[in-house]
A and B are shown apart, each in its own frame.
Chain A
Amino acid sequence: MNVLEMQNIRKSFGDVSVLRDISLTVKKGEVVAIIGPSGSGKSTLLRCATTLEKIDGGTIAICGRALASNVNGKEIFAGKKDLVEIRSMFGLVFQNFHLFPHFSVRRNITESLIHVRKVPKAEANAVADRLLAKMGLSEKADAYPCQLSGGQQQRVSIARALAINPEILFFDEPTSALDPELTGEILKVIRELAEEKMTMVIVTHEMNFAREVADRVIFMADGVIIEEGPAFDLINNPREERTRAFLAGY
Chain B
Amino acid sequence: MANLQSTILQLLTGMKFTILIFCLTLLFSLPLGLLVAKGRMSGNRIVSGIIRVYISIMRGTPLMLQLLIVYFGPWYIFKIPLRDLTIGDLDYRFVATIIGFTINYAAYFAEIFRGGIQSMPLGQYEAAQVLGFSKSQTFFRIILPQVIKRVLPPVTNEVITLVKDTSLAQVLAVSEMFIAAKSLASAQVSVVPFVVAGVFYYIMNGIIEIGMNKLELKLRYYS
- Which B residues lie within 8 Å of A52 (CB)? 126, 129-130
Closest to B137 in A: A115
* In the bound complex, CA of A94 to CA of B223 (Å): 19
CB pair B222 A146 closer than 8 Å = yes
- Interface SS of chain A: loop
Separation of A144 and B219 alpha carbons in the complex (Å):
12
Q: Kindly state the separation between the CA atoms of A111 and B134 in the bound complex, as whole angstroms.
A: 13
Q: Which of A50, A100, A102 contacts B130 (CB 8 A)?
A: A50
Interface residues on A, range: 20 to 34
| Residues of B contacting A90 in the complex (Cβ-Cβ under 8 angstroms) | 130
Q: Closest approach, in angstroms, between the C-beta of B15 and any C-beta of chain A?
A: 37
Q: Are B133 and A116 in contact (CB under 8 A)?
A: yes
Q: Say which size band chain B's interface belongs to.
A: 20 to 34
Chain A 114-130 residues near chain B, CB threshold 8 A: 115-117
| Most chain B CB inside 10 Å of its own CB: which residue of A90, A91, A115, A117 | A115
Does A88 touch B at the CB level, under 8 Å? yes
Pick from B123, B130, B141, B149: contact of A51, CB below 8 A.
Answer: B130
A111 touches which of B126, B129, B141, B222 (Cβ 8 Å): B141
Chain A residues within an 8 Å CB radius of B121: 98
The 9 residue pairs across chains A and B that have the minimum distance between CB atoms: A98-B127, A98-B123, A112-B131, A116-B132, A87-B132, A144-B222, A92-B130, A146-B223, A101-B222
Interface of B toward A, CB cutoff 8 Å: 121, 123-124, 126-134, 137, 141-142, 145-146, 149, 221-223
Q: Residues of A with Cβ closer than 8 Å to B? A: 50-52, 84, 87-88, 90-92, 94, 96, 98-102, 111-112, 115-117, 144-146, 160, 164
